[in-house]
Chain A
Amino acid sequence: MNILSGIIYVFIFLSVYVQVFFLVTFLEKRKNILIRNKRIELKEYPGVTIIVPCYNEEKTIVGTINSLIDLDYPKDKLQLFIIDDGSKDDTWQIIQKFTKYENIKIFHKENGGKYTALNLGLEKTETPFLGCLDADSFVDSQALKRIITYFNDKDTMAVAPSIIVDKPKNIIQGAQKAEYDMAVYNKKMLAFLGGIHVTPGPFSIFRKEVFEDLGPYRQAHNTEDQEIALRMQENHYKIEHCPDAYVYTSTPNSVKKLYRQRLRWIYGFIRNAIDYRRLFFRKKYGTIAFFTLPSGVISVLSVVFLFIMLFFNFINFIIHKITQISAIGFHSSFSSFNFDLFFFNTKTIVFISIILYTSIIVSLLLGRRMLEGKFRVSFDVFYFVIIYSLIAPFWVLKALFNAARSRESSWILEKEVKMVKQ
């Protein structure tokens, strides 16, 4: 138990370190965070292609495409590719009606996964810039213009937007809203340090050279938006973040759906981190090598160890209860319980946990202030802390388990291939 609590201290230390790291960066760079509330004009409007891959999205696709049509950007400079990746529902019929727009092209292909749809779009792209928009999201009309301003820097190769949870309807979505707000802040800080590790599916815009130089999207364990960012980092391609380019996304509305989504994300992170392990702690890769990837690993492991600790505490509690019941039965309870401040736990771990939770809540509020211009404490914050503490361990553990198993099986497969060759 002592070794375990030692490990817990180390992980809490590292988790606090991550938050302090963000906060120090914020205090240093806060003047450089650019938030524009008004419409802007650009000197020139480069051509941009937006690829919308869709698979069984009949319910949301119209909203997504309409938000793209409404983008405040010259129509002759904006190409929209809507790619039906072998949907089984009426998606194909629904997108037909958009063919009347000159700048919209629709494609149909056999189902092959999101990355194959994206790659089909890439092949057809002729503009110097391109991006994608998941069919469950829609964009603010000013988003594209604001993003394009970041490409004035010749080194910038990709720009990620701020993703906001669209109209949260229950506490699961409320919790995600708080989380996404925090992610905006984290992403901006990582951008300042050149350490972004995901160019999210909803509306990240790339220079076309990225794909010409580095190749198309890969399957990448169903998280192609992480893999392309890591590939760019490996090749020292700069990724920026535009905090005032808002993209609204519909998020899982039940624990089960959230679990599935996160399982995919965390599993993808673990596998991609393994695939790109050569980046870890290599000086030439900078922030991604010393901070972003290690902090991702820390968060995965922290969750596991905190869970183990809670599990042990729970078992101890049960054992104690059983002892109590076996000694005196159910009937006698200790009714004469006096509240006494003396018994308030003042162990170091309590204060350290307070520091950790405070730092997380501060991050969250800073993210919200970036988006809304003011600090606003809402119940979302508490939903986030409570719901994620309770259920995150399950998807993290499952993702680790799956990753370990697939490593094993691919290794066995390799061995078998070798044996056949012999």
Chain B
Amino acid sequence: MQKQFDWKRYVVVFFITLGLFLTAIYISNYFSSKKLSQLQGIQDKISIDILSSETQYSLLSELSCKNVSGSILSGELNELGNKLDWSQKNIGATDEVLYLQKYYSLLQIKDYLLMKKISSRCGVKSAFILYFYTTAQNCSECEKQGIVLSSLREKYPELRVYSFDFSTDLSAVKAMLHIYKIEDTKLPAVVIDDELLTGFQSVENLESRIKESFKLQEAKPEVKSTKTS
């Protein structure tokens, strides 16, 4: 009894299986693009918020600090940052993700400048950390530093951490790198109160600097208020 080779069955099954796989890939892409458009939406919202705060600030700066200090969006910015990180890990560094990341860096810089102005003029208790890392090379210190900063941010809600990927192809980020003289061989790097710290910084070290920064903040407005009065 010679068996015949039923090649048609094998081909049909192959195409059905391929169809199932393509469906899985399609569904996955569908969700990824949905997520990215969700991110885009969040970014647009933050962008409008910042622009609005800036405008509000320019309009009202000399009159009252009360109205401006309420426009706090760091929570949203943090959430966006987390989602972008996740996207880069899970969706991959696609053009869209990289574009969103550039946009995010820009929003961070704008938020930083605005909040710095507000806090110095209105005496809002706050501390700012600029954090530079790299994803281009395998940087285990950066991962550690990221964890430290996240935990500090949780502990001190007044602390604002702005993180920048060294390899971000954006002139504004490059300008920041230039100002603070950040080199890619000395990452992770942290800037707090305009002082550059390179290499991994422990929780304790950063914590003491944050507290110092808070003290400075408290001291400043008093000086100002005496002047104006």
Q: Which of A284, A291, A342 lies in contact with B2, CB distance below 8 A?
A: A284
Which residues of the other chain, B, contact A13 by a CB distance below 8 angstroms?
Answer: 17, 21
Contact between A355 and B20 (Cβ–Cβ < 8 Å)?
yes
25 pairs from A and B in contact (CB 8 Å cutoff): A13-B21, A20-B17, A24-B9, A24-B12, A155-B1, A236-B3, A238-B1, A286-B3, A286-B4, A287-B3, A323-B147, A326-B144, A327-B147, A329-B203, A332-B151, A334-B150, A342-B86, A346-B32, A346-B90, A347-B90, A348-B25, A351-B27, A351-B28, A355-B20, A355-B24
Contact between A352 and B150 (Cβ–Cβ < 8 Å)?
no
Q: How far is the CA of A21 from the CA of B6 in the complex (A)?
A: 12
Number of A-B pairs whose CB atoms are under 8 Å? 98
Which residues of the other chain, B, contact A332 by a CB distance below 8 angstroms?
Answer: 151, 154-155
Contact between A17 and B24 (Cβ–Cβ < 8 Å)?
no
Contact between A17 and B28 (Cβ–Cβ < 8 Å)?
no
Q: How far is the CA of A329 from the CA of B144 in the complex (A)?
A: 11
Q: Given A324-B147, A351-B24, list of 6 further CB < 8 A pairs? A: A24-B9, A25-B9, A286-B4, A346-B28, A347-B28, A350-B28
Question: Measuring CB to CB, which residues of chain A are less than 8 angstroms from any residue of chain B?
Answer: 13, 16-17, 20-21, 24-25, 155, 193-194, 236-238, 283-287, 290-291, 320, 323-324, 326-329, 332, 334-336, 342-343, 345-348, 350-352, 354-355
Main secondary structure of the interface of B (DSSP, over half): helix
The answer to the question of B121 belonging to the interface, with a C-beta cut-off of 8 Å to chain A, is: no
Q: How far is the CA of A334 from the CA of B28 in the complex (A)?
A: 28
Main secondary structure of the interface of A (DSSP, over half): helix
Which residues of the other chain, B, contact A194 by a CB distance below 8 angstroms?
Answer: 3
The answer to the question of B180 belonging to the interface, with a C-beta cut-off of 8 Å to chain A, is: no
Q: In the complex, how many angstroms separate the beta carbon of A363 from the nearest chain B beta carbon?
A: 14
Chain B residues 24-78 with CB under 8 Å of chain A are 24-25, 27-28, 31-32, 35, 38
Question: Measuring CB to CB, which residues of chain B are less than 8 angstroms from any residue of chain A?
Answer: 1-6, 9-10, 12-14, 16-17, 20-21, 23-25, 27-28, 31-32, 35, 38, 83, 86, 90, 140, 143-145, 147-148, 150-151, 154-155, 203
Q: How far is the CA of A217 from the CA of B14 in the complex (A)?
A: 37
Which residues of the other chain, A, contact B38 by a CB distance below 8 angstroms?
Answer: 342
Q: How far is the CA of A97 from the CA of B143 in the complex (A)?
A: 75
Contact between B17 and A17 (Cβ–Cβ < 8 Å)?
yes
Which residues of the other chain, A, contact B143 by a CB distance below 8 angstroms?
Answer: 320, 323
Contact between A290 and B32 (Cβ–Cβ < 8 Å)?
no
CB-based nearest A residue for B155: A332
Q: Assuming A326-B144, A351-B24, A355-B20, is B5 touching A283 (CB within 8 A)?
A: yes
Q: How far is the CA of A13 from the CA of B25 in the complex (A)?
A: 13
Which residues of the other chain, B, contact A346 by a CB distance below 8 angstroms?
Answer: 27-28, 31-32, 35, 90
Which residues of the other chain, A, contact B2 by a CB distance below 8 angstroms?
Answer: 236, 284
Which residues of the other chain, A, contact B147 by a CB distance below 8 angstroms?
Answer: 323-324, 327-328
Q: In the complex, how many angstroms separate the beta carbon of A160 from the nearest chain B beta carbon?
A: 18
